[in-house]
Chains A and B, each alone.
With several copies, the nearest count.
Chain A
Amino acid sequence: MSDIHKPCACSPDKGVSRRSFLRTSTVLASGVAALAASLAPLRELTDYTSIEQFMQKYYKEMTPQEMEKVLERITREVEQHYKIRPHVKDYKPMDGVEFVYCLNLTRCIGCRKCVHACVAENNQSQNPEIQYIRVLKLPHGSLDMEKGDHNYAPSSVPEKGFFYMPVQCQQCKNPPCVKVCPVKATWQESDGITVVDYDWCIGCRYCEAACPYFARRFNFTKPSIPKERLNPNMSYLGNRPRKQGVMEKCHFCIQRTRAGKYPACLEVCPTGARKFGNILDPESEVSYILRTKRVFIQLKEELGTSPRFFYYFDV
């Protein structure tokens, strides 16, 4: 930028006077100094991108060997940073599985236990805290979210005249976030989970603008997780620590659910309002609910996103 400002560095066609030379040199030197001064904050940069990371291939184009190397690199980085040796794996979707989430609005008491269990499980930044689940307190009778309270005080739940609606990624069948990503850094897996490759995202936040459920989160600064609270059981597309400047989101606890466990939010729920399972299995709890419950609600059904997250009532 600044070199435009310095005068012509070349000597003019004919004899350069000493004074002119001195002048040119002075301007040139002060220009370089100013440039250096303006770039000074970069000295504080600690978290350099390594060549290895910079050159890393696109997730879907990596061979198993290359993925192995990447996982090793991640393990190394985490160990270096948190002094804990994690278990990082690239969990793949299982055949014949499509995950679906059902949430019983009759039961939810708005305790926000799910919110915090999620943060702990998924190694989200805790300062500033990034939460995947947002619980709305709604007055009886209305599903108009504009009437919702996002910041209710949790001591007195459930409050009379209100009900509670936790919202997280709806794992849409037609995810707008995937459609708009210019670099294919986010996509839908065969088991219905929409994931983000944290090493490919360029941080344009177009997906965040596109999501109708406020389900995506951006690392506005370097995430900070206390060492003692790091969950060492990690997956590449799931809860491994993120870098500054990339998107993340709820991935149905990929490191748990693809290993046959329930998501953290479900396990911690004290009222059993949360149900999770494989919709392709007719015997699963979620299949039963969707088959028998009279009315359930897909948020913003009119947008055509076709969520895999269903709200229902105890009818």
Chain B
Amino acid sequence: MMRACKNYLTFLWRCTRIAFVGDWRYYAWLGLLSLFCLVGLNAYAKQIVHGLVVTGMSDQVSWGVYIANFTFLVGVAAAAVMLVIPVYIYGNEELHDLVIFGELLAVAAIIMCLAFVMVDLGRPDRFWHLIPGIGQFNFPGSMLSWDVIVLNGYLLMNVHICGYLLYCRYDGRRPAKWFYIPFVFLAIVWAVSIHTVTAFLYVGLGGRPFWNSAIVGPRFLASAFTAGPALIILAMQVVRWITADSPGGGVAPPPSGTPAPEAGARRPATLEDLELLASHLPQFASVPAEIRQSILMDAVVLDVAPGDALLRQGEAGNEVFFVLEGRVVVKREEKGRFRITRSVGPGEQFGETSALTKTPRAATAIAEEPACLLRLPADSLSKLMQIPQMNKIITWRMTERLMITDRALMILRSIVQVSMLINVFLLVNEIFKEFYSPTAHVASSQYLYFGLHGYHALVPWIWVAIAFNLVAMFLLVLPLSRSLKYLNVACVLAIVGIWIEKGMGLVVPGFIPTPLGEIVEYSPSLNETLVCLGIWAFGILCYTVLLRMAIPILQGTLSKATEGHGDFYHRSTETPTLGIPDVKTAHSR
């Protein structure tokens, strides 16, 4: 128990510490975001002092850009499940590695949501009145009380799932299914609920016909499932880009310049070697003696020096390697840049995918330290795989890698595609309903789309949003967007379009005209805009830091096994992530 605690604290400590480690670009990025945060904080301090009069809001338009952003971000948070569903319900392995990034995005988005609600309150000092048990909680009458529950519940759930999976990966343990799978499924239902409840905030208001329409909920969901995965498509490409070393930087060995896999000393394996392996890989103990014996026949032990390549991406090869001593890093070349997909230590294997599937090597493996390796042919691996315990551990470790493949992005593309089609379809239904038989209820829509009695502040915005959505839809439907370039354009257009349409385009027209027919327009003040920018910067900062922690854990470079190595301070060969030079090296420059 004590040890587990200490271990967990070490994990937290190392995660925290790594958040402050990076190269100048990383620091510049953090600095920039912090600057925006501080400017936003300053604006918020002014708002605290002078009241919401510093915003553009009024009694007529009593919610503005804060709540608009809140609404949009709830959608982004909910969209994390669009990664979870394919993986956990339909067993899609391609997206498996992305789930954690999606859930971390959800965490960052919910934090921003809560911040936006907080800055919108007239009396933030009284937020505790909202806490069930302590304050007065108008549940189930008020939809806002539902929102408090579902948003915080969703935050906790995602923090738990991410934290637990990352800790297990760090610890080299297999996560216990009962400890996270129920939450995964709960989170799926919950994601729909955070969205629906937020929609119901508006739908439930009988006096506001623009909102009091059953289609608002479905439109929320459809637009969230468009904008969320679109954001993930972009974020994942950024992750892929920053986790790759620059090409030919001299640090990562280009495949052609490395020593051949035959480098280093080699000798037939002995029973002692197998026992050494068993000491690192307890499951190996379950392998019967006769199989051990038969394996020995073709087994070879290699002693390699740092920088030696054991196998190379694209080559044929059907051997598997088990690490007996030292560490090996597995890198994958993608578009001329290298990315660490795994860092393998004693007892762990690499090269098993090619050995089992007879496909070419998917990555290059290079010794990071002087290492001792056991090389087995595919047949021997097959024999080992017949032992259930070995099969389980080897199969599990096969999935422990960081791969963001184009195919995964294409799966996300088809989600965005279908969601966008549904979103536009729902929009068509709404517009038909409003304008085919224009009742008095059409006033808000009239204001939004065409202006009312000479007021038309939102008209250019909504048409830009519709144009963006339509262009994005066409791009997504056409095969053109199988190219990342066009896909990215489509994603950006979809995100901006939905941000306008679902943020300001939903919140503001609900107030115009007022229930008494008055028209008072709204536009955010400078102070309000700065607060928003600050919260966005804070959210991006959170996501950056979360990624900074998660990526090395997923790569295996930050793990319990690397604890003794003193993290990134003592690695002499090369930088593990983010293309960031070793801190010590940087200091001694």
Contacts and interface: CB of A to CB of B under 8 A. Distances in A.
A180 B144 contact: yes
B51 A220 contact: yes
A1 B538 contact: yes
Given A208-B62, A209-B205, A5 B34 contact: yes
A270 interface: no
A296 interface: no
Interface stretch (A38-46, A89-97, A227-235, A258-266): A38-46
Contact of A147 (B19, B50, B127, B517): B517
B516 A41 contact: no
Interface string B365-395: 0000000000000000000000000000000
B440 interface: yes
Contacts of B310: none
A202 B49 contact: no
A183 B148 CA distance: 11
A269 B464 CA distance: 50
Interface string A163-188: 00001000000001001111111000
A4 B48 contact: no
A300 to B, nearest CB: 7
A38 B145 CA distance: 32
Contacts of A4: 19, 30, 34, 541, 545
B566 interface: yes
A222 B51 CA distance: 7
Given A8-B21, A146-B513, A304 B437 contact: yes
A126 interface: no
Given A202-B122, A304-B206, A39 B516 contact: no
- List 7 A-B pairs, minimum CB-CB distance, nearest first: A203-B122, A212-B207, A245-B122, A5-B34, A302-B440, A221-B53, A221-B51
Contact of B136 (A40, A134, A146, A184): A184
B517 A148 contact: yes
A220 B513 contact: no
A7 B20 contact: yes
Contacts of B48: 41-42, 45
Contacts of B21: 8
Contacts of A244: 51, 122
B51 A184 contact: no
Contacts of B443: 146
B432 interface: no
A202 B126 contact: yes
Contacts of B19: 4
Interface string A1-27: 110111110101110010110000000
A180 B142 contact: yes
B439 interface: yes
A181 B141 CA distance: 8
Nearest to B212: A303
Interface string A64-107: 00000000000000000000000000000000000000000000
Contacts of A8: 17, 20-21
Contacts of B513: 146
B52 A218 contact: yes
Interface stretch (B37-45, B243-251, B299-307, B337-345): B37-45
Contacts of A148: 516-518
A38 to B, nearest CB: 4
Contact of B516 (A167, A179, A203, A243): A167
Contacts of B20: 6-8
A204 B42 contact: no
B34 A176 contact: no
12 contacts: A12-B583, A38-B45, A146-B443, A176-B206, A176-B437, A179-B142, A202-B126, A205-B62, A211-B207, A214-B516, A220-B58, A304-B439
Contact of B207 (A17, A147, A210): A210
Interface string B84-126: 0000000000000000000000000000000001001111111
Given A38-B41, A136-B516, A303-B437, A245 B52 contact: yes
A206 B42 contact: no
Contacts of A113: none
Nearest to A3: B34
Contacts of A209: 62-63, 205, 208, 510-511
A52 interface: no
B330 interface: no
Interface in A244-270: 244-247
Contacts of A39: 41-42, 45
A206 B507 CA distance: 12
Given A203-B123, A246-B123, A182 B569 contact: no
B137 interface: yes
Given A167-B516, A200-B136, A208-B59, A302 B439 contact: yes
Given A37-B38, A38-B42, A181-B142, 13 more contacts: A8-B17, A12-B583, A20-B587, A38-B39, A145-B517, A183-B135, A200-B136, A204-B121, A211-B515, A212-B207, A214-B518, A302-B441, A303-B437
Contacts of A219: 51, 122
A218 B143 CA distance: 20
B59 A176 contact: no
A49 interface: yes
